[in-house]
């Protein structure tokens, strides 16, 4: 599928997501969103109010003072999300004691299936400090819009669906400001190379 192609081929195929798929019509196309990110056309990030995998309400203000690694995906994602979450977990492990200064967040683009309970079974597979976030459709849409995430439900047969989504790992500074993004498939070591200088500041 599309997501599989992206994970194996990389950057060049992000734009393959551009044709609108059946299902929920996203507000903006993937191509538009890529332009915004690549050419810095609009701010990335901002306030959110979501529910974590332990059932507590969390806002972006809870993470002030730490760098944030923000990843949008969904737990039924067959390979891209697990691969990137594994890399995030590995980066956290390799940061050693500096990992305390970084907060990884996994925000679902599939809140209907990704309940807090469901996230509680999922996020610890990748790292004990990974926080899973879900919420109402509206709250998730707001967060996804703020982070310039493209996602669209795609029906799989009669009763099932998957979600096409952009899989960027955002790095945010201690005040919640946008520093940049890692493309899907970025290695843990590459993440650390970028993160470390920001920890020293
Ligand atoms: Ni995914």
51: β partners? 57, 134
- The pTM score is 0.86
Structure tokens at 106: 């996994």
Distance from the CA of 135 to the center of ligand 1, in angstroms?
18
Sheet of strand 67-73: strand arrangement: 57-59, 49-52, 131-134, 102-108, 67-73, 169-172, 178-182
- Ligand 1 centroid to 155 CA: how many Å? 15
Its sign, for the CA torsion 120, 122, 128, 132, is negative
State how far Cα 113 lies from the chain centre: 16
Least confident of 2-16, 102-116, 130-144, 155-169: 2-16
66 alpha carbon – ligand 1 mean position (Å): 25
pLDDT tens digits, one per residue of 76-126: 999 899 999 999 999 999 999 999 999 999 999 999 999 999 999 999 999
Question: Taking all residues of the chain, what is their mean pLDDT, rounded to a whole number?
Answer: 88
pLDDT tens-digit profile of 12-54? 334 334 333 334 556 788 889 888 888 888 999 999 999 999 9
Summarize the confidence of residues 59-68 as an average pLDDT. Answer: 97
Distance of alpha carbon 171 from the chain centroid: 10
CA–centroid distance, 201 to ligand 1, in Å, is 32
Domains and CATH numbers, the chain: 44-148+167-199 (3.40.30.10)
Ligand 1 center–CA 109 separation, angstroms: 9
Would you state the structure tokens that stand for residue 27, as one six-digit string?
Answer: 């507000």
Spacing, Cα 200 to ligand 1 middle (Å): 31
pLDDT score of 29: 87
12 CA from centroid of ligand 1 (Å): 17
Q: Could you tell me the distance, in angstroms and rounded to a whole number, from the CA of residue 174 to the centre of ligand 1?
A: 26
């Amino acid at each position: 599928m599309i997501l599989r192609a992206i994970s194996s081929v990389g950057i060049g195929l992000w734009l393959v997501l551009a044709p609108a798929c059946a299902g929920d019509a996203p507000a903006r196309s993937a191509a538009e969103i890529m332009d915004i990110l690549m050419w810095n056309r609009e701010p990335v990030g901002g306030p959110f109010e979501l529910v974590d995998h332990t059932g507590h309400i969390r806002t972006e203000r809870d993470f002030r003072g730490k760098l944030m690694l923000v990843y949008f995906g969904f737990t039924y994602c067959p390979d891209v999300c697990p691969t990137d979450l594994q890399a995030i977990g590995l980066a956290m492990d390799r940061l050693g004691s500096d990992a305390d200064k970084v907060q990884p967040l996994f925000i679902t683009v599939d809140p209907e299936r990704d309940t807090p309970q469901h996230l509680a079974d999922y996020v610890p597979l990748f790292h004990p400090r990974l926080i899973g976030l879900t919420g109402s459709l509206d709250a998730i849409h707001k967060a996804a819009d703020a982070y310039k995430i493209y996602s669209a439900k795609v029906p799989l047969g009669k009763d099932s669906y998957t979600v096409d989504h952009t899989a960027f790992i955002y790095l945010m500074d201690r005040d919640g400001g946008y520093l940049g993004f890692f493309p899907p498939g970025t290695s843990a070591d590459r993440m650390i190379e970028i993160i470390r200088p920001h920890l020293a500041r």
